[in-house]
Structure 1
Amino acid sequence: MIEIEETSLAAPLDGSKPLQRQIQERIVAAILRGAIASHEPLPATRVLARQLQVSRNTVTLVYEKMAEDGYLVSVGRRGFFIDERFLRQHEKAARTASREAGRAEAPDAGLWTGRMRLRPTLQPNIRKPDNWQSFPYPFIYGHAAADPVSISRWRDCIRQAGRAEHLGQLMNDLVDADDPLLIEQIIRRILPRRGFRAGKDEILVTIGSQNAVYLLSRLFCGPGVKVGFENPGYVDARNIFTLDGAEIVDLPVDASGARPDARLEGCGLVYVTPSHQAPTNVTMTMQRRLVLLQAAERHDFLILEDDYEHELNYVGPRQHALRGYDQNGRVLHAGSLSKPVFPGLRLGFIVAPPDVITELRALRRLMFRHPSVLDQRAMALFMSEGHYDAHIRRQQGLLARRWATMLSEIERQLPDCTVTMTTGGSALWIRLPEGIAAARFQAEAASRGAAVEVGDIHFREPGAEHNFLRLGYGPIENAQIPAGIAVLRQALDHCLAERDRCRSPAAAPGGQGGGPDAQ
């Protein structure tokens, strides 16, 4: 009989994780490292259950499942043994990998890089701390506020999507099609809230709104195409257009959104984020929207409306999407289904004329065919049962409170910073005092437990003069905001003192001291 202690099977289990999965992972690991001999049975279920302090039934289920998966084999009256076929396959794979590793030589870097047509790593990109969740004060954008109710209901919808009545949809390759139930829910629940309607042949499901931008850029952009782009603007979208060879034309942004002017002449496409401008979060005024639509007709360009966060406008009257005012079919509308709920889910959509959607389907098929059928059906169920709308209402109330607290605390504790007024969303755009570099402030805030994002990256030409921060408040609890802003105050005071020391005459070579004894 195998000694349990020698196999590391009896170490305490983590009560926050599924017990059966933990036990199976330990048994597989013990088999692979040779701690369990093939000629000896695994520990008896009652013995292992007693050691792990779990029910005997739990261990029995693990053994039976591993037998079904080909890891173990049950021998009558003797127990469970390692399946020899599994061992042979594993040993053969290990020998092959060892031989290949012995033959392989480190390739010359130029062998690969010299042949690459694209180098996306050379583009400027948003950088966030990988461990931002460990910060006491995470002012990080792009993460939804935790909602245990929605998490529980989403799990229910995932389970429903795997039931017999939906299994046929899950088992099929949709090729270039989408889940019809999800398309129906987008038409019934999402588009009316945005102020327009569309037919089934005008909608394509995507892997998030950014994937929608990528697909549309591939279809409409390339060398020689000018793209009007907000400055500051969403850097990932700018990188997408640049990667396709388009020429970027800067559109200045102010408190009313992007400013349409004479620079739009000659553009083939104009990219805007009207509901919440990325990254300033301002909402484009009605006057600007109408001027932009008129300019599209006058200068003959298309508009790509990235409406990634439409549902999170909760201050003042809600405006329709830009496409809701489009009378000439020039607006390509991209939206997100997952960003207001679970940003990691990655589901979005495009609304465009049928001919455009047909080409997008063919393009998407070449890339990844279609988004996960399971995720599409689960989202359709989540919407049809009213969970999506209920979640949005809860998020609006929660974020509205955090928005008010953020503005109040910034005004109280950071009066020397300038904050851009918004109509909601999940972040604020603030400008630091003159002479304070955003990157230096970020480092100082991080050392004190606050994670913030620098805004420089969103400008066409990043520089020290762009001393902006984007402060997200989705992940931080409302009660923690005052203390978090106090930490930012401490970081700012430190940076101001550094700035003043550098500016003082004593800091210059040959300068005179400014101490109390100076004359």
Structure 2
Amino acid sequence: MSINIETFFLDPNAEGTLQSRIQQMVAQGILEGRFRRGERLPSSRKMAVHLGVSRITVTLAYTELVADDYLVSRGRSGYFVSDNAPEPPAFPARRFGAGTVDWNRAIAQRHSPGLSLKKPSDWASYRYPFIYGQADKTLFDSANWRLCALQALGMRDFAAMTSDLYDGDDPQLIEFIARQTLPRRGILANTDEILVTMGAQNALWLSAQVLLNSRRHAAIEDPCYPALRNILTQSRCQLHNISVDSDGLPPDALPHETDVVFTTPSHQCPTTATMPLHRRRALLERADADDFLIVEDDYEFEMSFLKSPSPSLKSLDQNGRVIYVGSFSKSLFPGLRLGYLVGPEPFIREARALRASVLRHPPGHIQRTVSYYLSLGHYDALVRRMSKAYHERRKVMDAALEKNQLTVAGEGAYGGSSVWLRAPDGIDATQLAETLRADGVLIEAGAPFFANPQGHSAYFRLAYSSISSGRIAEGVDLVARAIRSYQKNGRPHIASASA
């Protein structure tokens, strides 16, 4: 029996090459039971005409399906569903809902975040994406990344790709971090003092879980990275929000009962302030005097294009009080989800055990790919290219902000990839962001960064990591026009280009 060709169609929203989409279309029909064993598929010529693709594309798709035993080729008779093809389940699939369970009572611990950042998944389609932390495809070195990924897939690295390392990490990646990455921040560490994590957020979570409980006190910057506040809230520790100033976290404001301080000294999140050297030393002295630990999130230290980066807190630490968090997500791409923790061996041992109980270790293939990308020099070349581009964009951004007389609340004297702004009193940046979004402008409202969002609704962030230099000035002009309209009319509105 032949399968009616009208039952075949390509999903216009599906991703991948035409060949892979055809393979998926046929395989899905078999797995769903619509195409049964022994049934004949349309010829490659008829299928190609029906789908509007080349015949070779269909032939290659059929060939791959034969190799995977979904189809079988019978000489001149054509292609048939294989007798060995996977069978659909013998029982009907059913949708499930909450049923009769009272989930308000059944859930023992709440992990749903409170006020948090929301970024549209289609941010790249906006003309003025002043969005933070996303990769710019015009800067990324996709060719060399692809070569490193292929090299990591080779048989020479078969063990690194396929082995269960249990609680271990790729020794090649650990060696590079210890010998190359950390010394650039003035840090010397043994391999047993380094742990690879699923990004900086995973590193912060591990640190909070190991160091805190309901009786211990943690201090965080205000404003700060919203996900960190959620992590610490879930840990049930006693949480202290310390207001930052133009130099970052003030050590004198820390309560004496503090057990752990979380800080971003290189580029304070989100104000981008850089903690000066004298304050870094004061913070370490305070840690010694009051016997507390410091978790240093050193994100974006590579993007110090205006001046050389300040020494990391960890490099100044003489008594093992600093836990260092690094990440490749900002400098490579956020979807990579790869970072690392550096600290004394007893701490790393506990963090490693906790990681193993949750996810064992980050994927070996990803670790080995990054190892090759680092060791072959591609990473350094990428950072130089990004720094040059960011520096140029920053100059355009500064000129546009000055022209429009927008108030800069934090601009990162050492570089970074964003600027922290404050709208005039009475303006709600969340409403401003919604209005601008409708005109293709993406900005980030600042309220979610604060412990008390209601009192800080005028703040917002403009990032220049994912927008070209040629569009920055025009985008800033639109932001300024919307603010002026807000002041005049009591609501945000974007004036025409001739306004």
With the length of structure 1 as denominator, give the TM-score of the two structures. 0.88
Q: What does residue 215 of structure 1 align with?
A: 206
Counterpart of 1:460 (choices 437, 451, 472) is 451
Letter in 2 for 1:107: G
**Distance in 1 between residues matched to 2:231 and 2:491, nearest whole Å:** 41
Quick check: which has more Rg, 1 or 2? 1
Match status 1:83 vs 2:74: no
Q: Indicate the larger mover: 63-72 or 379-388.
A: 63-72
Counterpart of 2:395 (choices 404, 411, 419) is 404
Counterpart of 2:252 (choices 250, 261, 264) is 261
Q: Deviations over 1:389-416 (max 9, x none)?
A: 0000001001111111111101102x14
**Distance in 1 between residues matched to 2:185 and 2:374, nearest whole Å:** 16
Is the alpha carbon distance of 1:444 and 1:262 closer, same or farther for their aligned partners in structure 2, counting shifts above 3 Å? Answer: closer
- Following superposition of structure 1 onto structure 2, how do residues 363-378 of structure 1 map, counting pairs within 5 Å? 363-378=354-369
Match status 1:128 vs 2:119: yes
**1:64 to partner: Cα distance:** 2.6
Q: What does residue 66 of structure 1 align with?
A: 65
**Distance in 1 between residues matched to 2:100 and 2:128, nearest whole Å:** 44
Mapped contact 2:37–2:85 kept (Cα < 8 A): no
Look up the SS of the partner of 2:73 in the other structure. strand
Q: What does residue 170 of structure 2 align with?
A: 179
Counterpart of 1:242 (choices 233, 247, 259) is 233
**Distance in 2 between residues matched to 1:456 and 1:218, nearest whole Å:** 26
Mapped contact 2:139–2:386 kept (Cα < 8 A): no
Q: What does residue 130 of structure 2 align with?
A: 139
Match status 1:418 vs 2:417: no
Q: What does residue 96 of structure 1 align with?
A: 92
**1:144 to partner: Cα distance:** 2.8
Look up the SS of the partner of 2:244 in the other structure. strand
Mapped contact 1:399–1:426 kept (Cα < 8 A): yes
Match status 1:316 vs 2:316: no
Look up the SS of the partner of 2:196 in the other structure. strand
Task: List runs of 5+ in structure 1 lacking aligned partners.
Answer: 502-519
**1:477 to partner: Cα distance:** 0.9
Task: List runs of 5+ in structure 2 lacking aligned partners.
Answer: 493-499
Mapped contact 1:440–1:495 kept (Cα < 8 A): no
Is the alpha carbon distance of 1:359 and 1:484 closer, same or farther for their aligned partners in structure 2, counting shifts above 3 Å? Answer: same
In terms of fraction of residues, the more helix-rich structure is 1
**1:490 to partner: Cα distance:** 1.9
Mapped contact 2:200–2:327 kept (Cα < 8 A): yes
Q: Indicate the larger mover: 200-209 or 32-41.
A: 32-41
Look up the SS of the partner of 1:90 in the other structure. coil
Output the aligned Cα RMSD.
2.5
**1:123 to partner: Cα distance:** 2.2
**1:489 to partner: Cα distance:** 1.6
* Aligned residue-pair number: 491
Letter in 1 for 2:99: P
Letter in 2 for 1:288: R
**1:248 to partner: Cα distance:** 1.4
Q: Indicate the larger mover: 273-282 or 131-140.
A: 131-140
Is the alpha carbon distance of 1:311 and 1:105 closer, same or farther for their aligned partners in structure 2, counting shifts above 3 Å? Answer: closer
Look up the SS of the partner of 2:106 in the other structure. coil
**1:464 to partner: Cα distance:** 4.2
Q: What does residue 511 of structure 1 align with?
A: none
Mapped contact 1:309–1:340 kept (Cα < 8 A): yes
Match status 1:333 vs 2:333: no
- Following superposition of structure 1 onto structure 2, how do residues 472-487 of structure 1 map, counting pairs within 5 Å? 472-487=463-478
Is the alpha carbon distance of 1:331 and 1:135 closer, same or farther for their aligned partners in structure 2, counting shifts above 3 Å? Answer: same
Q: What does residue 107 of structure 1 align with?
A: 99
Q: Deviations over 1:6-42 (max 9, x none)?
A: 1335x69999942320221232345467775655422
Letter in 1 for 2:88: H
Mapped contact 1:72–1:80 kept (Cα < 8 A): yes
Is the alpha carbon distance of 1:15 and 1:438 closer, same or farther for their aligned partners in structure 2, counting shifts above 3 Å? Answer: closer
Is the alpha carbon distance of 1:396 and 1:67 closer, same or farther for their aligned partners in structure 2, counting shifts above 3 Å? Answer: same
Mapped contact 1:129–1:451 kept (Cα < 8 A): no
**1:256 to partner: Cα distance:** 0.9
Q: What does residue 7 of structure 2 align with?
A: 7
With the length of structure 2 as denominator, give the TM-score of the two structures. 0.92
Q: What does residue 287 of structure 1 align with?
A: 278
Look up the SS of the partner of 1:258 in the other structure. coil
Sequence identity (%): 37
**Distance in 2 between residues matched to 1:40 and 1:270, nearest whole Å:** 66
